Amino acid sequence: MPQRILTIEDDPAIRRGIVDGLEMAGYQVLEAGTAREGRALAVQREFDLLLLDLVLPGGDGLSILGEVRASRPTLPVIILTARGDESDRIAGLRQGADDYVVKPFSFRELLARVEAVLRRCPERPSDIQEICFAGGRVDLARGEVCLNAGGRESLSLRESELLRYLACNSGRAVGREELLAYVWRLDPQGISTRTIDMHVARLREKLGDDPESPQVIITVRGKGYRLGP
């Protein structure tokens, strides 16, 4: 079944170009031109990805993003912003958007970002509650590590989110900049990635993962981290 994309964009010409292009690329498309119409579709209909303009007649795109994140925390969202609206882009990323595209943009760029976000976590599972590894298991619902050798370790919300994101993307190395953008919800430009390494070090300690030869959270030189088998 084709994947379905909801496009909320107030400019009729831009929206028509997006809708026509996505349909030619094989997607089903829902569309709205106002905040009211977009909010209704976002909370009532099923779809696989949201393209969201932040400046809309009758409302604010960020409020729609907040409602979507509250009800569907793993739904992929790409925000559409005008050139120069850096504060809006940062606010969108911090509120849970997966990516952004700056207007004016080419449809080829937009399509590439849509495909990348859908590919990055194709299932986008919200029900990943447990991660099993050789030394035990992680209960993400409870936020704790249960070791086979005995003992439990509590996880912070950020540590749980980091593990869940790596699990969503198992089989590939996830870069530090990507983790800053999609787990920390920060613009990675100009921000030190040292915080990622510190969180990984703490997680390895809680997981009983040997820092000299880790088997659970593996460092891929020059690329980032991936979850072991």
Query: Does the pTM exceed 0.75?
Result: no
pLDDT of residue 83: 59
Q: What is the 3-state secondary structure (H, E, C) of the chain?
A: CCCEEEEECCCHHHHHHHHHHHHHCCCEEEEECCHHHHHHHHHHCCCCEEEEECEECCEEHHHHHHHHHHHCCCCCEEEEEECCCHHHHHHHHHCCCCEEEEECCCHHHHHHHHHHHHHHCCCCCCCCCEEEECCEEEECCCCEEEECCCCEEECCHHHHHHHHHHHHCCCCCECHHHHHHHCCCCCCCCCCCHHHHHHHHHHHHHHCCCCCCCCCEEEECCCEEEECC
Measured in residues, the chain has a length of 229
Nearest to 215 by CA among 197, 200, 228: 228
pLDDT of residue 1: 66
| Cα–Cα distances in angstroms (integers) from residue 58 to residues 10, 51, 54, 219, in the given order | 10, 18, 12, 47
Q: Which range has the worst mean pLDDT, 120-129, 160-169, 189-198? A: 120-129
Model confidence at 85: pLDDT above 80: no
Give the domain extent around 69: 4-120
Q: Verify that 167 and 63 share a domain, yes or no.
A: no
Q: Verify that 139 and 79 share a domain, yes or no.
A: no
Q: Verify that 16 and 87 share a domain, yes or no.
A: yes
Q: How confident is the model over 42-59, as a mean pLDDT?
A: 89
Model confidence at 123: pLDDT above 50: no
Q: Verify that 47 and 72 share a domain, yes or no.
A: yes
Q: Does 125 fall in a domain? A: no
Domain total in the chain: 2
Over the chain, what is the mean pLDDT? 86
Q: How confident is the model over 163-180, as a mean pLDDT?
A: 84
For residue range 125-162, what is the model confidence (pLDDT) as tens digits?
455 788 999 889 999 888 899 999 888 999 988 898 89
Instruction: Answer with the residue of higher pLDDT: 162 or 168.
Output: 162
CATH number at residue 201: 1.10.10.10
Residue with the two structure tokens 């509590």: 154
Instruction: Answer with the residue of higher pLDDT: 145 or 95.
Output: 145
